[in-house]
Chain A
């Protein structure tokens, strides 16, 4: 659950398309060193956004300003200037967001300890959400997260910054991405991250069609091992792994539970050219085979007609019959951008289903997890206490500043 989930507007500045890394699973196919956001574009975007406080598009109680790349902290000078300007303008215009805003970052963590980044953190700490991406064990991490133009893994350069990050953000969570080659390392990796002091591990399988025959079985086995380790090791008390949730794996009512999963269209992304996107995944550098979907720009504003299909999109309209009728549908995620990129036509109304067998494997392991955990708690007479503790954790999570599981 992210900060002010559902009542916060997500506004993303794509400050650079450059990154020190070239992760093998990265969906950003068009990264480059040239497209860096200028201050003029950033300021024009802020002026547009802040001056449209009453517009329904921005009529949210709170706001999360996301900074992404590439690697956002490569542009720390610009980010610092943007954040100062945002604060000043929100205050000067008496904007209601001044009382409820966050600056959010998902970083590879490599220059987390740099002087400039640390100075920025100290200056804005109260309003910061920072997630460092570390994929697990050194082996698992370095399998994918390698430096560009080399096969050199980045684990050591990230792991050295984890203690500082945990100290500054004790509730910080990490986001782990699973692709086909990563499956054998899932269990060890989650336990490794717990060992580093990270209490919230958010994991998701990539949505792209990368899965091989038998991956679902391997995935299931890894999750079963992980379930045993978490329960037998007592980690369930204070640690969380997003793979296990009581809310997944149930049928969904076609009418009453028809919401779209993805927030595309409710979010707003801005790139270096000053173009607006319904989500970063619709920017050109994210798309393998489709043209970007641009919904406006900092000069002309937002073309609301182009937002209409996003804001009226529901689950059943975009899903094939097998998904609508699926008995384990709840928790099966999708990415609107990947749906668009993989679709047979230029539509995002065609749900990509590459993740289907992985979701079903997750559901089986998840059922095992909860059956095993509840039996253990009942036998030990601790179930009631566990429920109370979980409620407290859940409330704390609502305030916690972690990135959403998906995206």
Chain B
């Protein structure tokens, strides 16, 4: 059931997830290959209609902002409905959260401070080199969401490096808990809190409205191919095969307990050609996180009562549920 409507206020609205606004050389050909995104501000009329659609469908609206300022007349329309704002964190100091922003997106967490959750988009190498910065950031932001921008390129060596990093971060987070703090790092603390899948929900619980007045499964589908829409404001939503965005129609995921996994349907389609099937890389990363979360939960509990209502995360001997498919019924 739909719950959220993401509205991209401009074609250059910041990316807050795995996709890049400008395709990388390894991406498949798209109409946009090789050129920077040009601005296309959503029209006031489209914005009004989008808000109206969200109100009629009972959807929580999330605005995604471009880096540039919006014309003054947009503020009144934007504020006409309860919403969240996702914005790019300015590179120039001060790196502190502004009160009207609900989520900051950044590509650098060095010396970061914010009063609202921060999404950090990073490639693997930068992530592996940023252990100290992550630990410091966890002291200075209420929540840090790490989003990898090169999941498809992970090798066995990278998986080992990722596992090692998670172990080190886990130790640091454990110590923070011992010291009475409750840092939130999506890679390690989310799974401890979850009792069922909590994924991205694109196409199922979330839909995106682009500046052209068309709906997309998520922003990445819009940026990859503007023709890949699933309806428009005039005719409404038309998501073909919409069941495939639901957990129960994802054979690997419905057998999985890496509940914190993003289960990114765009990455699924990019790497396996089916929106309901995750790649090996996505599964292994999610399971390394899951297993590190298990250790973290066990270690924190050694210091005292912690999340008593949460069941223990079971020990498993695989990193990719696909390898266990013969045991599914």
Residues of A within 8 A of B (CB): 255-256, 258, 293, 304-306, 308-309, 311-314, 317, 343-350
Is A309 within 8 A of B271, CB to CB?
no
CB distance from B267 to the nearest CB of A (A): 10
Instruction: Flag whether B178 is at the interface (Cβ < 8 A).
Output: no
With A345-B240, A345-B241 in contact, is A309–B280 under 8 Å at CB?
Answer: no
Interface of chain A, main secondary structure = loop
Q: Which of B233-275 contact A (CB under 8 A)?
A: 240-241, 244, 249, 251-252, 271-275
B244 interface neighbour in A256, A305, A349, Cβ under 8 Å: A349
Flag whether B159 is at the interface (Cβ < 8 A): no
Contact A347 B275 (CB under 8 A): yes
Determine whether the beta carbon of A317 is less than 8 Å from that of B322.
no
Report yes or no: A308 in contact with B240, Cβ–Cβ below 8 A.
Answer: no
Kindly state the separation between the CA atoms of A314 and B251 in the bound complex, as whole angstroms.
8
For the complex, what is the distance from the CA of A317 to the CA of B328, rounded to whole Å?
14
Residue of A nearest to B252 (CB): A312
CB of B229 within 8 Å of the partner chain: no
Which residues on B are within 8 Å of A, measured CB to CB?
240-241, 244, 249, 251-252, 271-281, 322, 325, 329
CB distance from B212 to the nearest CB of A (A): 20
Given A305-B271, A350-B241, A258:B329 Cβ within 8 A: yes
Q: Taking the nearest CB of chain B, how far is it from the CB of A211, in angstroms?
A: 23
User: Within the assembled complex, what's the spacing in Å between the Cα atoms of A369 and B280?
Assistant: 48
Closest to B230 in A: A345
Picked from A258, A308, A343, the residue with its CB within 8 Å of the CB of B272 is A308
Decide: A317 and B251 in contact? CB cutoff 8 A.
Answer: yes
State whether A344 and B240 are in contact (beta carbons under 8 Å apart), knowing that A308-B252, A317-B249, A317-B251 are contacts in the complex: yes
Tell me whether B249 and A349 are in contact (CB under 8 A): yes
Instruction: Flag if A343 contacts B251 (CB, 8 Å).
Output: no
Q: Would you call A344 and B241 a contact (CB within 8 A)?
A: yes
Do B322 and A309 touch across chains, with their CB atoms under 8 A apart? no
A344 to chain B: closest residue by CB:
B240
29 contacts between A and B (CB under 8 A): A255-B329, A256-B329, A258-B329, A305-B271, A305-B279, A306-B272, A306-B273, A308-B272, A308-B278, A308-B279, A308-B322, A309-B272, A309-B273, A309-B274, A309-B277, A312-B251, A312-B252, A312-B277, A312-B325, A314-B251, A317-B251, A344-B241, A345-B240, A345-B241, A347-B244, A349-B241, A349-B244, A349-B249, A349-B274
Chain A residue contacts of B241, Cβ below 8 A:
343-345, 347, 349-350
Whether A313 lies near B251 (C-beta < 8 A) is: yes
Most buried by A among B273, B277, B329: B273
Q: For A347, list chain B residues within 8 Å (CB).
A: 241, 244, 274-275
Contacts A308-B279, A347-B244, A349-B276 known; 17 new A-B pairs at CB < 8 A: A255-B329, A293-B273, A305-B271, A305-B272, A305-B281, A306-B271, A306-B273, A308-B252, A308-B277, A309-B273, A312-B277, A312-B325, A344-B240, A344-B241, A347-B275, A348-B274, A350-B241
In the complex, are the beta carbons of B280 and A308 less than 8 A apart?
yes
Residues of A contacting B329 in the complex (Cβ-Cβ under 8 angstroms) = 255-256, 258
- The smallest beta-carbon distance between A207 and chain B, in angstroms, is 19
Contacts of B322 in A (CB 8 A): 308, 311-312
- What's the Cα separation between A305 and B153 when bound, in Å? 12
